[in-house]
Amino acid sequence: MQKSTVKIFISHPTPHHKKQAKFLELVNEFLSELELAPMNLGINQWSNKNPMEPIKKMMQQCKGAMIIGLGRSHDFIGLFKDSEEYIHQHRSSPWIQIEAGMAYMAGLPMLILKEDIVLKEGILDNISEYSVSEFNLKKCQNGLSQEIKSLILQWSQSIAQ
């Protein structure tokens, strides 16, 4: 008898270094153990004319959404609101913000994970009903922490109902 898997939408930037790729590999392995099948748009399904339509269709097949804020860009120095200087801010992809909003509108339960160096803004800030759980990418190279596993497990149980 074949096990049934639950489809979930997973939003994250395309990894740009080995540590990010390893973390996503570990997340996908753990999701598989929980019989969850992560889906995301990928390069082959992208539409320049209407990029949100394929995301919407994919989310309609899913029971939950996992948002992973990995560092995508690094500002060495800048100004916030033209007055407050900052240095060394890491940001994630704007697409995770869009996809999180779409998941919210679709009524999908969300789990939000954020690399600890990434700026707390938008969905990655703890100002919504969803809590944001931080992780240290370097500490997750040999395996996901028990805390991350527990969060994923708890979230997976909420979407299996």
pLDDT at 61: 93
Can you tell me the distance from the alpha carbon of 31 to that of 26, in angstroms, rounded to the nearest whole number? 9
Comparing CA positions, the residue from 39, 42, 60, 67 lying closest to residue 130 is 67
pTM to 2 decimals? 0.87
pLDDT at 50: 79
pLDDT at 1: 39
Can you tell me the distance from the alpha carbon of 138 to that of 144, in angstroms, rounded to the nearest whole number? 11
Give the Cβ contact number of residue 24 at 10 Å: 18
pLDDT at 124: 87
Q: Which parts of the chain sit beneath pLDDT 50?
A: 1-2
Can you tell me the distance from the alpha carbon of 31 to that of 3, in angstroms, rounded to the nearest whole number? 14
**Three-state DSSP class for residue 125:** coil
Return the percent helix, strand and coil in the chain, to nearest 5: 35, 25, 40
Structural domains of the chain, with CATH: 6-159 (3.40.50.450)
Burial class (CB in 10 A: 0-12, 13-18, 19+), 111: buried
Residue pLDDT, tens place only, 45-69: 666 777 888 899 999 999 999 999 9
Cα angle 125, 131, 135; round to 5: 80
